Structure 1
Amino acid sequence: MTKEAEYTHGHHESVLRSHSWRTAKNSAAYLLPYLKPNMTLLDIGCGPGTITTDFATILSEGHVTGLEVPNSDILDKARAYAAGRGVTNITFVAGDALALPFPDASFDVVHAHQVLQHVGDPVQMLKEMRRVTKPGGIVAAREADMGGLVWYPEIEGMKEWQQGYIQVARANGGEPEAGRRLHVWAQAAGFPKENLTLSVGPWCYYTPEERAWWSGLWADRTVSSNFATSAIKHGIYTQERLERDAATWRKWGAEEDGWFTLLNGEMIARV
C-alpha cells in the first residue's frame, strides 16, 4: 500500500519561476548522450513543459509524452509553451505516477526530474517507470538532495531554514534527501545494481542576477507557496518564522560574495 504524500511546493508563481528556468541542458545533461532522434520518451512530472519540449526537439523523429497530476492547470501552460515553440511531436496528459496510464513496454526512455522526492512511495514509482519502459530502454531520474546544500557566507538563519524545509517535506510524506537514495530505491524496484549508472549534477548560483533570482524565489516560496500552508498545518512553523526565513533568504541574496550550490543525484537505470 502506498503512502499519501502532499506536494510540498505546489504550483505557486514562485515555484513555476524556478521550474520554467529548467531546460534539458541545465537539468538533464546526464541523459542527453543516450538519446536518439527516433526514440519515444515519457516525462513524468513535466510541470510547465520546458524540459519536456526540449526533449521533443532532440527526439525530432520520435515522440514525447509529458505527464502531470490530474486537475492541474499546469498542463495548459505546458501545452501553450510547446505550441509557442512550434513543437508538435509532443503530447501532455494527466495521470498518477504511482499507477501510470500506459501499457507495459510503451517507451524507450522514461524520465523524472525532481518527482521521486515528493511521492509517498518512490520504489513503487520506479517500478511503474520500469514497467512502461521497453526492454533495453532507460529509466532516468534526477533528484535534489536538500541535506547537501552548501552556501557562503554563513548567514544566521540559513541552517535553520534548511532543517525546517526538510522537516516540512518529510511531514508531507516525501524524502527531501532523495538524491543520495536513488540507487537504493532502484534496486528495491527490481533494477540490478550493475544496470545503474550514477552521477551528480550541481546547480550553482553566484552572479548578482543569479543570487537575486534564487534568493527571491525561495523567499517568496517560503511565505506564499504550498510550503507555507503545510508548514503551519504540521505545526513546524509559525507565520513569524516563515517571514523570518524569507528575510534570511533576501539577506543572503544581497551578499556581494554570496555563493550557493545544490547537489542533484542522477541515475541511468537500464531495463
Structure 2
Amino acid sequence: MREDYVHGYSEREAIRLVDQAETLSPLLHYDTSFPEGSLVLEAGCGVGAQTIHLARNSPQAEITSVDISKPSLTHAKALMGREGISNVQFQTADIMELPFADETFDHVFICFVLEHLPDPVGALKSLKRVLKSEGSITVIEGDHGSCYFHPETKEAINAWQCMIKAQKELNCNPLMGRELYPLLSEAGFKEVKIDPRVVYVDSSKGELVDGFIKKTIIAMVEGVKDQAIGSGLITPETWDKGIQDLHMTAEPSGTFFYNFFKGTAKK
C-alpha cells in the first residue's frame, strides 16, 4: 500500500474527512452494522473519520482499524478518545501485507481506499485472506465521473478535472465506484451486491449545501491546488475562477449531484 495521498495529510484534510463522514453518515451508514462479539477489520482507517460511525453503529463488535500512516493513526486514536469510543484498537499495517492469520475476521470494512491503490484487486484478495469463511466485506467508493452541477462553467469543470487528473498521475482511479462489481468478482468474492447512493443538493437542503458542497466537495478540490498548478494542469487564474464558480453551486440558484457506490459480498 502506498503512503502518498493525493489530498495530503494536513490538519485541514483531516477536518475535511471528518466533516465528510459526518455529513454522509445517514446516506452511507444507515445499514452498516455488525453483530455483537464479531471481529471487524477496518482497512485504511486514516484519521478515523469512518471509524466513529462503525463503532457507534456496532458498539458490541470488536473493531481493529489499520492504516499505513502513523500520523493518521495518532489522529484517529485522539478522535476516539474525544468521542469516548472504546471498542476500537488501532494498528499500523499495510493492506497488501496484513499481519493477521488467515480467516481472522468475521467482517471487513473498507471505505474510500481502493481508489488510491494501484492494485485494488490485490488489496481485495489480501483482505479476503484474513476473512473467515462466509464472512462479509463492505466496500464504499465514490465516482468523480458521476458529478454534475449547476451552474456549470468551463472553469469549474477544469478545476474539477484537475482533481481527477491529479489522482491519475498517482496511478489511482477516481472512477472507482463504477468498477466495484467487477473488482469484487475478480477478487473471488461471491454474492456481490452494489447499491448506488445518490447525493443531490439544492438550496432547500441547507445541511448538505454546507456539509457536502462546501466542506466535502470544494474542500476536496482545493486540496490539489498546488499539484494542479505546479504540474501545469491549469493556470492560477483559471483555478481561482473555477473554485469561485464551484462556490456558485452552493448559492440559492445552484445544485449539485454525485453518486457513491456501496458494495457488499461474501467470501
Q: Could you say whether these structures have the same fold, taking a TM-score greater than 0.5 normalized by the shorter chain as the test?
A: yes
- Residue 237 of structure 1 aligns to a residue in which SS? coil
Cα distance in 2 between the residues matched to 1:128 and 1:54: 24
User: Percent of counterpart pairs with the same letter?
Assistant: 24
Provide structure 1 residue ranges, at least 5 long, that are not aligned to the other structure: none
Corresponding position of 2:252? 256
Corresponding position of 2:226? 229
Q: How many residues align?
A: 261
- Residue 157 of structure 1 aligns to a residue in which SS? helix
Corresponding position of 2:242? 245
- The answer to whether residue 188 in structure 2 is matched with residue 190 in structure 1 is yes
Contact 2:248–2:254 under 8 Å retained in 1: no
Cα distance in 2 between the residues matched to 1:77 and 1:5: 16
Corresponding position of 1:41? 40
Give me the TM-score of the superposition, normalised by structure 1.
0.85
Contact 2:149–2:249 under 8 Å retained in 1: no
- The answer to whether residue 115 in structure 2 is matched with residue 117 in structure 1 is yes
Corresponding position of 2:30? 29
Corresponding position of 1:170? 168
Corresponding position of 1:91? 89
Give me the TM-score of the superposition, normalised by structure 2.
0.86
Provide structure 2 residue ranges, at least 5 long, that are not aligned to the other structure: none
Instruction: Tell me how far 1:209 sits from its aligned partner.
Output: 4.9
Any idea what the Cα deviations from partners look like across 1:146-196, whole Å, max 9, x if unmatched?
Answer: 10112223344232233322222111111011010011111221224xx20
Cα distance in 2 between the residues matched to 1:14 and 1:175: 23
Contact 1:204–1:259 under 8 Å retained in 2: yes
Contact 1:70–1:96 under 8 Å retained in 2: no
Cα distance in 2 between the residues matched to 1:77 and 1:57: 18
1:81 to 79, 82, 101: 79
Q: RMSD of the alignment, in Å?
A: 2.4
Corresponding position of 2:125? 127
1:138 to 133, 136, 139: 136
Instruction: Tell me how far 1:127 sits from its aligned partner.
Output: 0.7
Cα distance in 2 between the residues matched to 1:169 and 1:151: 21
Instruction: Tell me how far 1:243 sits from its aligned partner.
Output: 2.4
